[in-house]
Structure 1
Amino acid sequence: MAYDLVTVSAILCEIMRKELDKPLDKPADFTGPYASGDTPITVNIAAKLGAKTAVIGSVGPDPFGKCFKAQMVSSGVDVSMVKDIPGASTGCAFVCYYSDGSRDFLYHSRHAAAGMTHAEDLDMEKLQGTKWFHLTGYNMSVSKSLQETCYRIVDELPEGSRISFDPNIRPESLSVEEVRELCRPVIEKASIIFPSKTEAALFTGCATDEEGCRLWADQGKLVVLKNGSEGCIIYQGNEKIPVPSFQVEEVDPTGAGDTFCGAFLTALIEGKPLSECGRFACAAGAMSVRKQGPMEGAPSRAELEAFLKAHS
């Protein structure tokens, strides 16, 4: 059976501070590891909601690699295209949160197994029939080999497959200008773009996100602007659809936007109207922040539908 959603990832495990305002250059307690990576979070929620998903990437033959695979398998994600790299360590990220809502990340990915996926590792025959490939700017910025892996998917896109793209700019990796140039071939082929605040303006060179989103929409793309606690705005052609979010008690915001993408794509695959896709995704994103860990709060299908019913 063909996949609904496949992604390429710089696979990570995440270790985070237990308390706020504990910078990474000072001794303090951590919690984790938690399976992570932006696009694994996306396919994780999609699988939990019923989509057939897979992740492509690399881990080390170590406990963090086992942690990642166990999380994916428990959610129903196919890990048969996750390669073990002998002698390499699984990528990891350390994160701390501050009272003002900001975060600091420290990545060990470029020279870890996370950055060692190569274009020749792709089994394009196995990927025939895939409905959506979800790619991000962050993964393309990790290593030259990951960039080339994403480019191969774009260049050899199976018939009937489409590209979903989340810019996901990480200033810890490359500058905006460098990421913009790296991502240009993917953006050109993308059918859906999921920018966060400021990214539509930055990637298009427009003065505002509104102008940037409309520019992409005029090019025939479906654009879903993620506005965090404010919900999202969907742009298609001349249509603009604002969708409000849900008020919840936030514990850990990491991965909410990636969860949003996975839920939105799942709803779209199921043929739901765009406004309903947005509501479905906003609910999943809101639910995901209620537990510590980037995938720990991802709801099951039954939990998400109960949440939506309760907030109808």
Structure 2
Amino acid sequence: MRRIVTIGEIVVEVMATERGDGFLEPLSLVGPFPSGAPAIFIDQCGRLGQPCGMVGRVGDDDFGRLNLRRLAADGVDVSAVSVDPEAATGSAFVRYRPDGDRDFVFNIRRSANAGIALDAAARALVASADHVHVMGSSLFSPAVVAATEEAVATVKARGGTVSFDPNARRELLAAPGMRAALSGLLDRCDLFLPSGPELTLLTEVDTEEAAVGEILARGVGAVVVKRGAAGAEFHDASGRIAQPAFAVEEVDPTGAGDCFGGAFVTCWLRGMPPAEALRYAAAAGARAVTRRGPMEGASTFAELDAFLAAARV
């Protein structure tokens, strides 16, 4: 089976137990949970039995050890996750507002994540990879952008493939060089996995239909649009496939899109028909929201098969 590698942030997540606006008063919290968008993605790949690994950096602390143990236990190669002797592991504090929106307090850029680089261990992992998955949220520094671009070039030169989840807000594009970096990655990817509003983020058009056409015309092989409770869609040169969302009781939506992406990329690399891959991915996203904690709902194929056997749309 093809080996998937991703590069990016590893954090712990701590979340409020009650809804409200921000963190301006003392409140009850639960955590820490292993987290970080690329870490959630690759953990889902590992849970599905796909060969995979991650390039990242954690602190020499319990938060780092918590993440490394979870990833390794789920089958992720962590040989290229270095340990910073001084900087702390990244963190994210989350609170849900009454309307379901979220407030975050992040420590990523000044955490151990700031030291992510392609050292000898990371280059060895990349050299073994057949596929690179890129998360836009991970491109938080020029050093990480450079490491990601080198990994993409290395794998593409060997005939490998690239998937790209922009996972970004429009404000991110204001950072110097960020739009060019994201646009360059879009041009080099084989599979593009935006959430609904991100579909037009890097295009010259405003409508989603036109954006899909423009992206495919740029050489991207397929586009998978994630719409949460509204389902998902697959687009390629042969047309469109729609997948409705599964009806579940939502406990925590954080990480659902990353689990969806990990499941879809795994199935796609195994040669499954797009409709089947989309169905597994939708199931993975649905199961993810039923557990508190970003990685707690990552699924095995056996769990997805059981879910699908009993599922409602």
Give the TM interval when normalised to the shorter protein: over 0.9
Q: Indicate whether 1:39 and 2:41 are aligned.
A: no
For 1:218, the aligned partner's letter is A
Query: How large is the RMSD of aligned CA atoms in angstroms?
Result: 1.9
After TM superposition, the structure 1 = structure 2 runs for residues 8-47 of structure 1, keeping only pairs within 5 Å, are 8-47=7-46
Per-residue CA deviations over 1:2-41 (Å, capped at 9, x if unaligned) read 8521100111111111111152222111111111110111
Partner of 1:144: 142
SS state at 2:190 partner: strand
State the Cα distance separating 1:106 from its structure 2 match.
1.2
Q: In structure 2, do the counterparts of structure 1 residues 27 and 98 end up closer, same or farther at CA, with 3 Å as the change threshold?
A: same
Q: In structure 2, do the counterparts of structure 1 residues 166 and 33 end up closer, same or farther at CA, with 3 Å as the change threshold?
A: same
SS state at 1:59 partner: strand
After TM superposition, the structure 1 = structure 2 runs for residues 35-114 of structure 1, keeping only pairs within 5 Å, are 35-114=34-113
Distance 1:193 1:173 in 2: 18
Distance 1:198 1:244 in 2: 18
Per-residue CA deviations over 1:122-163 (Å, capped at 9, x if unaligned) read 6434433422110111101x2221111111112323512111
Per-residue CA deviations over 1:196-221 (Å, capped at 9, x if unaligned) read 11111121131122221221122332
Distance 2:249 2:30 in 1: 20
Q: TM-score, normalising length from structure 1?
A: 0.94
CA contact (8 A) 2:170 2:201 kept: no
How many residue pairs match? The answer is 310
Q: In structure 2, do the counterparts of structure 1 residues 282 and 167 end up closer, same or farther at CA, with 3 Å as the change threshold?
A: same
Distance 2:16 2:216 in 1: 40
Distance 1:171 1:38 in 2: 18
SS state at 1:233 partner: strand
Partner of 1:224: 224
Per-residue CA deviations over 1:151-185 (Å, capped at 9, x if unaligned) read 11123235121111000014675648864223122
Partner of 2:302: 302
SS state at 2:196 partner: coil
SS state at 1:50 partner: coil
Deviates more, 1:79-88 or 1:200-209: 200-209
Partner of 1:195: 194
SS state at 1:198 partner: helix
Distance 2:184 2:250 in 1: 36
Q: Indicate whether 1:281 and 2:265 are aligned.
A: no
Unmatched 5+ stretches in structure 1: none
CA contact (8 A) 1:254 1:294 kept: yes
CA contact (8 A) 2:127 2:154 kept: no
SS state at 1:253 partner: coil
Partner of 2:168: 169
SS state at 1:259 partner: helix
CA contact (8 A) 2:55 2:122 kept: no
CA contact (8 A) 2:291 2:297 kept: yes
State the Cα distance separating 1:290 from its structure 2 match.
0.4
Q: In structure 2, do the counterparts of structure 1 residues 220 and 246 end up closer, same or farther at CA, with 3 Å as the change threshold?
A: same
For 1:278, the aligned partner's letter is L
Q: TM-score, normalising length from structure 2?
A: 0.93
State the Cα distance separating 1:263 from its structure 2 match.
0.2
Q: Identical aligned pairs, as a percentage? A: 35
CA contact (8 A) 2:126 2:151 kept: no
SS state at 1:127 partner: helix
Q: In structure 2, do the counterparts of structure 1 residues 219 and 174 end up closer, same or farther at CA, with 3 Å as the change threshold?
A: closer
Partner of 1:155: 153
SS state at 1:149 partner: helix
CA contact (8 A) 1:254 1:293 kept: yes
Partner of 2:260: 260
For 1:248, the aligned partner's letter is V
Partner of 2:234: 234
Distance 1:302 1:227 in 2: 25
Deviates more, 1:60-69 or 1:297-306: 297-306
CA contact (8 A) 1:13 1:34 kept: yes
